[in-house]
Structures are given as C-alpha cells and as structure tokens.
Amino acid sequence: MRRYAAVRGPGTARVLVNRAAVNVVLWGYAVVALVPLLIMVWNSFRSDQELVADPLGLPVSPSLDAYREAWVEASFSTYFLNSVLVTTASVALSTAVSLLAAYALARSRSRLMAVIEQVFVSGLMMPVFLMIVPIFYLLDTIGLASTRTGLILVYAAVSIPFSVFVLATFLRQLPDELEDAARIDGAGPLRTFWSVLLPLVRPAVATVVVFRFVPIWNDFFYPLILVRDRAQYTLPVGLTTFFGEYQTSWSTLFAGLVIATLPLVVLFLVATRQIVAGLTAGMGR
C-alpha cells in the first residue's frame, strides 16, 4: 500500500487525509461500541439519587449497595446458581454424548451412519417456536415440568447437532494410525476412544464447550416458557421478573445486568482466540 502511495507523489496529502478519516471512523465506532457497556458498569456503583441528579456522571463515591440488593433481596444468588448448574450440566452432557456419537460417525463406514448423521445435522436449522409447545407438554408428561433437570435435558438435546457436526469434522481430520496401533496392542473401542482419541480432540472439545456455553447461558426463550417456579429460574428469566419488580431502583437494575454478564467476560478473557477463530470458521472462502 504505502509503496504505491509513495510513487504517486501528488496524492500523498490525500492519502494522509484518508488515513486520518479512517482513524476517526475506527475510534469513533469503538466509543459507540464500548461506552454503553462502561455506563452499565459504572452506573451499577452509583446510587439512584446520583443517577437522576447527573445521568452522565462517574462513580464519585462508588458503592456496592446495588449488588447487595440484587444478590440478596432480588434473589440473584439463586438465579446465578441455577444458571451455573443448568449451563454446565447441559454443556457437559451434550459434549459427552456428542463426542461418543461423533466418534461413531467419523469411524464407521456404514450407510446407516451416514443417514443418521444427516438427521443430526438437519437439526442445525431447528424451528424453536415450532418445537416449544410439544416440549412443554412432553416435560409435563414425564414429570419434569418446571425443573432444572428438564431444562438441562432440552438444552443438551438441542446442542447435539452443532456439537456432533464440529466434533465429527475434527475427528475425520485426525489420522487413524494411532487407533490402528492401539487396536493392534489389543485395546477395545472404548479404551481406544478414552486413552488415544480423547487427548487429541481437546481443542475441538474446547470450541464446542465455549460455543454452547454462551448461547445457553444467555438463552431466555426456553426457561421463560418451560420454567414456572421462581426458585428454578435461570438468570435471564430472573432478569425479566426483576425488571418488573425493581422498576425504580435503577442502580440495582444495572447491577443485575452486570451480574448476568460477568461470567461471559471471564469466559471471553479465557478463550478469546477460540471465540474469534470459531466465529469465522469456514466463512472466509
């Protein structure tokens, strides 16, 4: 780029102006993207009086009152624990069963398996609005209505298409010499899977875990409909009742939003590279 700019002497000034304009756009949008999130965080440390008196102010005397209120009074501790339990259990369950299934699909040559794989993958385009009413009655019938267990099973099931797809793709790229060696040494399929393959698929497992954790943690549609008991609420549904009940306690509302977001920030810091790589995987053709 710069090479050409230097050759075209008279254009140099314009190139510089262009560069400056691009910089203004880039930093300008960075402000637009970031400032609302920063306001969310610092308003959670301010009192309601401060918020009304000066909507644009910074936390001059930061206080944790809003967090205490949200965590204790507004039952965020309950919602938070439910979310942690439901998200980790459903991601663990779906990853475990998907890994077994992906191994079978990747290492089998049977026609039947190819058909089954198609069925799984077709679930990537699941019509959730269509399925939710039958799921509601299904859970009711088997006695899991309004329970965390029911929610975990549903999340695990709807995660299978994505997880199987990613894991099977990854397993197919692994050379099978190691498995051959294990087999010759007398290891059965389960032992081969456990001791030989499992250590190798770690990166793919990490991707699947991160990419199912985020949408399940954030999801609000399934629990809104499937969970009626407040003690079983996850954070997003908890937020909706909370916004109805704490309408005038604004700093508490901000604190609630921060609590719901914090685990994702932690996850993001731990797994940035995986997220950015995964978001664009296969898109750049």
Applying the rule CB under 8 A, the residues between 6 and 45 that interact with another protein are 18, 22, 25-26, 29-30, 32-34, 36-37, 39-40, 43
Least CB distance to another protein at residue 84 (A): 15
> Which window, 60-68, 72-80, 157-165, 198-206, contacts another protein (CB under 8 A)?
157-165
One of 86, 201, 227, 239 touching another protein (CB under 8 A): 239
Least CB distance to another protein at residue 205 (A): 15
For every residue of 36-49, DSSP letters joined together read HHHHHHHHTTS-HH
Instruction: Please tell me whether residue 1 adopts helix, strand or coil conformation.
Output: coil
One of 85, 92, 145, 225 touching another protein (CB under 8 A): 225
Distance CA 95, CA 121 (A): 15
Neighbours of 179 (CB within 10 A): 19
DSSP annotation of 70: I
CA distance to 55, 59, 103, 199, per residue, from 207 (Å): 40, 38, 17, 14
Of 164-183, which residues contact another protein (CB under 8 A)?
A: 164, 176, 179-180, 183
One of 70, 135, 166, 204 touching another protein (CB under 8 A): 135
User: Residues 228-264, buried b or exposed e (16+ Cβ, 10 A)?
Assistant: eeeebbbbbbbbeebeeebeebbbbbbbbbbbbbebe
What's the alpha-carbon Rg for the chain, to the nearest Å?
25
One of 107, 170, 205, 211 touching another protein (CB under 8 A): 107
Site track 65-104 with another protein (rule: CB under 8 A), x = hit: ----------------------------xx-xxx-xx-xx
The reply on whether position 257 binds another protein by CB under 8 A is yes
The reply on whether position 214 binds another protein by CB under 8 A is yes
Least CB distance to another protein at residue 112 (A): 7
